[in-house]
Amino acid sequence: MSPTMSVEADDCSPNTKSLHFLLVPLMAQGHMIPMVDLARLLAVRGVLVSFVTTPVNLARIQPIADQVSASSLPIHFIELPFPATDVGLPEGCENADLIPSAAFFLTFMNAQSLLRDPLESHLRIPNASKWPKPSCIISDNLQHWTADVALSLNIPRIIFHGPSCIYMSCQRFIDQNRAELQSAIEAASGEPVIIRGLPHPIQVSKHEVMAAWRSDPGWSKFVETVQLVEESAAGVVVNSFTELEPWYFERYREMMGKGKPIWPVGPLSLYNKEIDAKETRGRASSVDTNVLLRWLDEQENGSVVLVSFGSIARDTMDQLVELGQGLEATGRPFIWVVKWAEEMQGMNEWLTELEKRVEGRGMVIRGWAPQTVILEHAAVGGFVTHCGWNSTLEAVAAGVVMVTWPHFADQFLNERLVVDVLKVGVAVGVKEPTVLGLENKEEEVVQVGRGEVERAVEMLMGGGEEGEERRLRAKELREKAKMAMEKGGSSWEGLEDVIKYVAESAEKTGKGGHPF
Ligand code: UDP
């Protein structure tokens, strides 16, 4: 039975039927998309789900909301007003990918807490379907204000962590040992150093130890609040699976302490089985799926390279031109997803010329691509990725090897996992972050030349025996990922344990099953 078509809930015991999970995502594609998957997985397991969103974001996921209602999955989408203009953000700036420049980023993050009052007012209104009051909140870790809402409802707050366990455990280590790491980097003349006590020689760079935001009091306060509130969370839900990074799950558990359950529930993207669920994931696709699939069907198995840098990362036009020329030079078929081309003078025209030169072999998607549709097609063999955690996991789940091109945040440590630990990737060689890329919009910044692009893609798609072994390992990981999500698999059990935990907690406090 396909979950998307399911009307009845799976494994639904009377005990879980009255459980009501309130999900609060961060309004950013990389955080919202997996939370939508989580909402549907929870509903399929027989619990009621309310999903907090805002008008612009709801419009983006409306096709999914329609699929949910057609399949009678018990999910309510709670549409709360987001007063962007009240805090100086442009009208309708309700998602991180709509922020006009890096200068607005902190304002956007702080503005998320303005959802608190409308959410509490909403929760006070008796609901027409007589759903019980929420039994728990699953909140994005960065939505720290939800701790107060959980407290006022006297229910547990479980946090949803977008990133990998390697990132979370290494980041904690960095936070706890910053001075020591900084001295070690200085002693190594600014070169990266290895984090001690890990099963793999994981290197961290100066920019990861001394992140630029640390000197900004506003950002420091935001991060401190998130970290403080994280301590009070009842448990942590992670979009990863045990078999992918067992050492780092263990390490993260040790760091969080015995009393705090850490539940693996991913790769959440594998919830989406049907093409209509995949093609509408995140937002409407900028390309006709039929045209795309026809083109992919014409290519040889494993021959196509997908290039996409997620929803936020931005590169300068000079950098994009180098990337495009590198791709052209490989002579291999490719799909290149380019965002914000219209904001760069001359970029669209340059892309059109490129399309002419590579006609039949290269496809440029301007805007939003149905990423999992592409990655899971047999024609796709490689992925040039910014190493956002969702993209990384989606490539793992599709058995596709990666050229790693991190831009900021957790992406550098995800690269280490892909290249050094799992050995399913080739690093393009980025040394410095482009914080959001946004700050460089007007500058001529090139970090990776066309030669490096060509070299990395060649090594990935060819690469002799080493390349074959990489591809074999990627296929093995794909099978492990699928097994983790199947009934009885590690992530399937992880979600089961989350539900059990909430059921027990509701039982103890007698809060389950009460109407508003
Ligand atoms: N995505 C997509 N189409 C695009 C760009 C991104 O479907 O054109 C999806 C991608 O599959 C992933 C998410 O958006 O699920 C991006 O999350 P990730 O963590 O990879 O990167 P972020 O956008 O947070 O930097």
Instruction: Tell me the CATH number at 461.
Output: 3.40.50.2000
> Quick one: 260 exposed, middle or buried, by C-beta within 10 A (0-12, 13-18, 19+)?
middle
pLDDT of residue 474: 98
Question: In sequence order, which ranges of 178-216 are alpha helices (DSSP H)?
Answer: 178-187, 206-209
d(CA 418, CA 404): 8
Question: Is residue 228 situated within a structural domain?
Answer: no
- Rounded to the nearest angstrom, the distance between the alpha carbon of 278 and the centre of ligand 1 is 12
Residues 412 and 281 placed together within one structural domain of the fold: yes
pLDDT digit string (tens) for 139-190?
999 999 999 999 999 999 999 998 999 999 999 888 888 889 999 999 998 9
Residues 286 and 432 placed together within one structural domain of the fold: yes
pLDDT digit string (tens) for 440-457?
555 557 889 999 999 999
- Global pTM reads 0.93
Question: In sequence order, which ranges of 45-164 are alpha helices (DSSP H)?
Answer: 55-70, 105-111, 116-124, 146-153
Question: Is residue 360 situated within a structural domain?
Answer: yes
Q: In what order do the strands lie in the sheet with 75-79?
A: 75-79, 48-53, 20-24, 136-140, 157-161, 235-238, 262-264
Using the atom order of ligand 1, give the atom closest to the CA of residue 310.
Answer: 23
- Rounded to the nearest angstrom, the distance between the alpha carbon of 21 and the centre of ligand 1 is 25
Closest of 29, 90, 89, 101 to residue 435, by C-alpha: 101
pLDDT of residue 436: 60
Pocket test for ligand 1, best of 31, 33, 95, 311 (most atoms within 8 A of CB): 311
Which amino acid does the sequence have at 41? L
d(CA 308, CA 386): 7
Write out the two tokens for 471: 């591809």
Pocket test for ligand 1, best of 26, 29, 270, 386 (most atoms within 8 A of CB): 29
Q: What is the mean pLDDT of residues 371-395?
A: 97
Question: Is residue 340 situated within a structural domain?
Answer: yes
Domain boundary, last residue among 155, 171, 200: 155
Q: CB within 6 Å of ligand 1 — which residues? A: 29-30, 33, 281-282, 308, 310-313, 337, 368-369, 371-372, 388-391, 394
pLDDT of residue 259: 83
Q: Are 78 and 50 in contact (CB under 8 A)?
A: yes
- Rounded to the nearest angstrom, the distance between the alpha carbon of 476 and the centre of ligand 1 is 23
- Rounded to the nearest angstrom, the distance between the alpha carbon of 474 and the centre of ligand 1 is 20
Residues 281 and 421 placed together within one structural domain of the fold: yes
Residue 7 has pLDDT above 70, yes or no: no
Question: Is residue 176 situated within a structural domain?
Answer: no
pLDDT of residue 2: 35
Closest of 222, 190, 228, 189 to residue 206, by C-alpha: 190
* Residue whose CA is at the smallest distance from ligand 1 atom 18: 388
pLDDT of residue 1: 31
Question: Is residue 26 situated within a structural domain?
Answer: yes
Residues 146 and 288 placed together within one structural domain of the fold: no
Residue 6 has pLDDT above 60, yes or no: no
Percent of the chain exceeding pLDDT 70 equals: 93
Looking at the structure of the chain, the number of domains it has is 2
Using the atom order of ligand 1, give the atom closest to the CA of residue 387.
Answer: 20
Query: Regarding beta strands 235-238 and 262-264, do their DSSP bridges make them parallel or antiparallel, or are they unpaired?
Result: parallel
Instruction: Tell me which of 8-22, 107-121, 396-410 is least confident.
Output: 8-22
Question: Is residue 468 situated within a structural domain?
Answer: yes
- Rounded to the nearest angstrom, the distance between the alpha carbon of 382 and the centre of ligand 1 is 16
Residues 140 and 2 placed together within one structural domain of the fold: yes
Pocket test for ligand 1, best of 391, 394, 408 (most atoms within 8 A of CB): 391
Q: How is residue 88 annotated by DSSP?
A: T
Question: Is residue 191 situated within a structural domain?
Answer: no
Domain boundary, last residue among 89, 120, 155: 155
Looking at every residue in the chain, the average pLDDT score rounds to 91
Residue 501 has pLDDT above 50, yes or no: yes
Q: What is the mean pLDDT of residues 312-320?
A: 91
Residues 304 and 445 placed together within one structural domain of the fold: yes
Question: Is residue 436 situated within a structural domain?
Answer: yes
Residues 291 and 438 placed together within one structural domain of the fold: yes
Residue 149 belongs to domain spanning: 1-155
